[in-house]
Amino acid sequence: MTQTVSREDRTERIAETMTDAAIHGRSLWRDALSRFLRNRAAVGAVIALLLVLAFVLVGPAFARFSNEEIDWALMGDVAGQGGPSLANGHYFGLDELGRDLYARTIQATGTSLTVGIIGAAVAVIIGTLYGAFAGYVGGSTDNLMMRGVDILLAVPSMFIIILLLVMFGRSFSMLFVGIGAVSWLEMSRIVRGQTLSLRNREFIEAARAAGVGTMTIILRHIVPNLMGVVVVYATLLVPQIILTESFISFLGLGVQEPATSLGALISAGAATITFGTVWQLAFPLFFFLVTIVSLFFIGDGLRDALDPKDR
């Protein structure tokens, strides 16, 4: 009798454990968030990036000069009294034209982040839809679409961007067009490969048998199942676009005056470092490195959190 009761109790405990596990079960995204939060490097990168965003958003409230205002009193003494100082209100010093580098760095950091985020969003949208359509339709359409991508990838992306800027003018909007014209290509190939592994799944076959249209299947069934890959690649794409924009601005073909970006400030600082104005290079370079490294660590953390092999 005791043995029978013990077995019944054991069965009830197992049932209660299974019920509790079902109640307290976590979704895929919550499980990924838990993994991400256990990654100290990724969490530290998020904090660092939030501090950079706070600098861009809150920093202007502490600026005593605008980004275009020239301090005529210190303009000719940039290497002397024009250095970083709390007394004269130039926290990061002056640039070579006597403008406040603190306000210029805020504007430059905001510009680089804007280019990176918007450029990555455009590239992800175009690349995801293009790759998902090519992978789902398949056949000659897939071959034709992907051969076009291969041809564009064969041309150096920097050459395409510079050519567009030279032909159609060096403007902020054309910079978006140039970067967006080449940034979505790799995304389309990644999405296309993932779509090929999904298009013959049971839920896709069921939707097709029910008469659901091609675009509806792509938007409602294919794309949602690719969000893990898309999110990770988008996070890694933002620093790549910022690097591209910074290099273009370093060459003098990117953001034009009076606007500026981190690449433009780094270029100006590198040109004047021989005059003893180290701060003109140090402050923009610091925010540039913190932003890039943080984004890469966040991307690596998301990749590890969403990796199905580690789940």
Grouping H, G, I as helix, E, B as strand and the rest as coil, residue 70 is strand
Cis? peptide before 60, omega within 30° of 0: no
* Model pLDDT, residue 48: 94
Dist CA 293 CA 288 (whole Å): 9
H and E: helices and strands count for the chain:
13, 0
* Model pLDDT, residue 4: 47
Q: What is the pLDDT along the chain (311 residues), one digit of tens a residue?
A: 444 445 555 555 555 554 444 445 556 677 777 888 888 888 999 999 999 999 999 988 888 888 888 777 776 655 555 677 787 777 888 887 778 889 999 999 998 898 888 888 888 899 999 999 999 988 899 899 999 999 888 888 888 888 888 887 777 777 777 787 788 888 899 899 889 888 888 888 888 888 888 888 888 888 888 887 888 888 888 888 888 888 888 777 777 777 788 888 888 888 877 776 788 888 999 999 999 999 889 888 888 877 655 44
Q: Contact at 8 Å (CB) between 274 and 200? A: no
* Model pLDDT, residue 311: 47
* Model pLDDT, residue 109: 92
Could you tell me the sign of the dihedral formed by the alpha carbons of 226, 232, 233, 238, in that order?
positive
User: What is the distance between the terminal CA atoms of the chain, rounded to a whole angstrom?
Assistant: 43
